């Protein structure tokens, strides 16, 4: 899959036809959202940060650089990453529940996937 087809979006934002395959990448189901309203293609919770890392980060922007480093280490040995790289052609939208669109694990995941694709993995 070409990484230009990978996108990020809050799971609470309105689904659109441009989303393509909608994949939730959070370990926990987003609060206040029904499964019907989410319109998911997949939920790959195993690709999210470990419970320990998620709790440590606690959505604190000042910890984001450390989260990025620690989460990338987790992703390097996480077999669930491969599932995101082998979807059929077409756009794939990685969905996350965090309020902060800049300081969240999905941003790191997208960067990691693009790096893998650039290396041809």
Dihedral-angle region of residue 28 (phi above 0 means left; psi in -120 to 50 means alpha; beta otherwise): beta
Q: Are 45 and 24 spatial neighbours (Cβ–Cβ below 8 Å)?
A: yes
Stronger pLDDT, 74 or 82, i.e. the higher one: 74
For range 53-79, the mean pLDDT: 97
d(CA 121, CA 101): 27
d(CA 26, CA 95): 8
Q: Which residues contact 77 (CB under 8 A, 6 or more apart)?
A: none
Would you say residue 9 has pLDDT above 90? yes
Note the pLDDT of residue 11. 97
**pLDDT band of 5, cuts 50, 70, 90:** confident
**pLDDT band of 4, cuts 50, 70, 90:** low
Would you say residue 111 has pLDDT above 80? yes
For range 16-43, the mean pLDDT: 94
Task: Report the domain count for the chain.
Answer: 1
Which residues span the domain enclosing 37?
3-118
């Amino acid at each position: 899959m070409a990484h230009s087809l990978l996108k990020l979006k809050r799971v609470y934002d309105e689904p659109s036809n441009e989303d393509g395959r909608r994949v939730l990448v959070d370990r926990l189901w987003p609060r206040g959202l029904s499964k019907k309203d989410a319109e998911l293609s997949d939920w790959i919770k195993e690709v999210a940060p470990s419970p320990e890392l998620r709790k440590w980060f606690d959505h604190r922007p000042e910890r984001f650089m450390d989260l990025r480093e620690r989460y990338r280490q987790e992703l390097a040995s996480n077999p669930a990453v491969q599932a995101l790289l082998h979807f059929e052609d077409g756009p794939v939208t990685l969905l996350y529940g965090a309020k902060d669109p800049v300081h969240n694990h999905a941003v790191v995941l997208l960067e990691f996937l693009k790096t893998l694709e650039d290396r041809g993995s």
